[in-house]
Amino acid sequence: MTIPVPAVMITAPASGQGKSMVTAALARLHRNAGRKVRVFKHGPDYLDPMMLEVASGQPVYQLHPWMTGEHECRWRVAEAAREAGLILIEGAMGLFDGDPSSADLAKLLGIPALPVIDAGGMAQTFGALVQGLAHFDPELSVYQVIANKIGSPRHGDMLKEGLPQGISLLGAIPRSEAMHIPDRHLGLLQPAELDNLDQQLDAAAAVLEAAGLAELPKAVTIAPVEPVKPEALLKGVRIAIARDLAFSFIYRANTDLLTAMGAELYYFSPLADSQLPQADALWLPGGYPELHGSTLANNIAMTEAIREFYESGKPILAECGGLMACAEELSDKEGVVHQMLGLIPGRSTMEKRLQGIGLQSVTTDEGELRGHTFHRSSLDTPWQPVARAWKQAGTVGEAVFCEKGLVASYFHGYFPSAPALVAALFRGQPLTFHTDTEKTHA
């Protein structure tokens, strides 16, 4: 039975228009009004979902037709529709940017797009921009728009008067400190690093309410979708997962899958703990080890525990920040060098520019693990990769290193895209990697 639910894709003509904070503030506004709000994020992103979870009080999952698969996109939204009074999806980049784009996802789900446009320094051109976004793709529904960072009420009126026929202004948001969240080189600060985030989200919600954004979007009809039930390939396997301010880039769907496959998950902090949980496998996810180099280097007991785990030959997955921590040394943004775990010979170094970004996949005989890369550090090591990821664009991507039970790469995997591969990795089973048509064993 189909379910009607108010739903909208919050997007923009480009990055930097303020859509992340608008999405969070809208979620908090409707949550404070007593509605159950479910929020999703289009594409690979760890930091925005953290804030969106705080704003909505509900779990946030990624949706991306290539990375997560079209079926999973439909299923997650259908599951949310069964309980939610509002569904918000935060887009990525500009509305038509990327492959698949936010527009592609909106069309797949049958959900209209709601552009957020930074109107600073703009008057009648605002209407022309809206005209282009609304009519560039006739299959995409756009019936409302949000003006952000207006200079005055009169400015907002001018923008409203200049809109093309059939498009209304949901609201015009004034400049406000409540609408600003500080960021760093990989995105927003993590909620645990921000004081009074709840109070700021409430203040941002009040700004939106005063700007007329309390109106619910139109209801759309969501059809039920059958879930894919994974096999219990990790039954009884104990996995220790690093999770703290240095290691926090973890897709909720990844841990959900591990649990659904029967794994027992135990979390620990490489920053604060002195020993590992009793475990059969170890996962060092991405994050910000470069911001905590001194603390990690000085936690000798944890360093020794992880080295001992590595020497035992048990499986270890190290992704991006986890890879950096596995090197002998880490050179941070200031050029200060910190001693790391020493599992991989060489040094990771923070660079001034991005070193890797975009969608990639790693393929083995057990399947194709899809995901992405996004990092500003480089790794100088004598180790030779056993394989490389493959970029969605069709060229060679990130190196994959394997030694004993360690699998390490700058690549971040989306586990539900290849459950059998993930299960084999955490069970320590040999993997045959493919780079395009080549095969390598590890």
Q: How far apart are CA 416 and CA 411, in angstroms?
A: 15
Q: Where on the phi/psi map is residue 188: left (φ > 0), alpha (ψ -120 to 50), or beta?
A: beta
Residues 3-45: tens digit of each pLDDT = 899 999 999 999 999 999 999 999 999 999 999 999 999 999 9
CA separation (Å) from 273 to 176, 242, 276, 295, 322? Answer: 40, 10, 8, 11, 16
Contact indicator for 307, 328 with CB cutoff of 8 Å: no
DSSP per-residue codes, 47-90: HHHHHHHHHHSS--EEE-IIIIIHHHHHHHHHHHHTT-SEEEEE
Strands 247-249 and 286-287, bridge-based pairing: antiparallel
Contact indicator for 40, 88 with CB cutoff of 8 Å: yes
Burial (CB < 10 A; 0-12, 13-18, 19+), residue 393, is exposed
How far is it between the farthest Cα atoms of the chain? 69
Burial 29-57 (b: 16+ CB within 10 A, else e): bbbeeebebbbbbbbbbbbbbbbbbbbbe
- Does residue 320 have an active-site annotation? yes
pLDDT at 438: 62
Q: How far apart are CA 194 and CA 232, in angstroms?
A: 39
pLDDT at 172: 97
Calculate ∠ Cα 275-399-303, nearest 5°: 15
Burial (CB < 10 A; 0-12, 13-18, 19+), residue 226, is exposed
Q: Does a structural domain hold residue 275? A: yes
Q: Does a structural domain hold residue 124? A: yes
Domain boundary among 222, 251, 277: 222
DSSP per-residue codes, 295-336: HHHH-HHHHHHHHHHHHTT--EEEETHHHHHHEEEEE-TT--
Q: Residues 73, 320, 326, 402: which is the catalytic one? A: 320
Contact indicator for 197, 210 with CB cutoff of 8 Å: no
Q: How far apart are CA 320 and CA 288, in angstroms?
A: 9
- The number of domains in the chain is 2
What is the H or E stretch that residue 267 is in?
strand 264-268
Q: Does a structural domain hold residue 379? A: yes
Q: Does a structural domain hold residue 398? A: yes
Contact indicator for 277, 312 with CB cutoff of 8 Å: no
pLDDT at 196: 87
Contact indicator for 316, 308 with CB cutoff of 8 Å: no
Same domain, 206 and 246: no
Same domain, 197 and 244: no
Q: What are the tokens at 164?
A: 């093309």
Same domain, 82 and 17: yes
Q: Could you tell me the pTM of the whole model?
A: 0.95
Same domain, 198 and 288: no
Contact indicator for 358, 321 with CB cutoff of 8 Å: no
3-state secondary structure of 343: coil
Structure-token match 């990790």, residue found:
234
Q: Does a structural domain hold residue 314? A: yes
**Sign of the torsion angle spanned by Cα atoms 39, 145, 103, 394:** negative
Q: What are the tokens at 254?
A: 């990844």
Same domain, 195 and 250: no
Q: Does a structural domain hold residue 227? A: no
pLDDT at 439: 62
Domain boundary among 181, 196, 222: 222
Range of the domain at 314: 238-441
Q: Does a structural domain hold residue 30? A: yes
CATH code of 431's domain = 3.40.50.880
Q: How far apart are CA 414 and CA 250, in angstroms?
A: 9
Same domain, 200 and 242: no
pLDDT at 189: 74
Same domain, 216 and 242: no
3-state secondary structure of 417: helix
Domain boundary among 196, 222, 248: 222
Could you list the beta-strand ranges (E) of 312-426: 316-319, 327-331, 337-339, 344-350, 356-364, 367-375, 377-380, 387-391, 396-403, 406-409, 412-413
> C-alpha 230: how far from its chain's center?
22
pLDDT at 79: 96
pLDDT beneath 70, residues of the chain = 184-187, 436-442
CATH code of 91's domain = 3.40.50.300
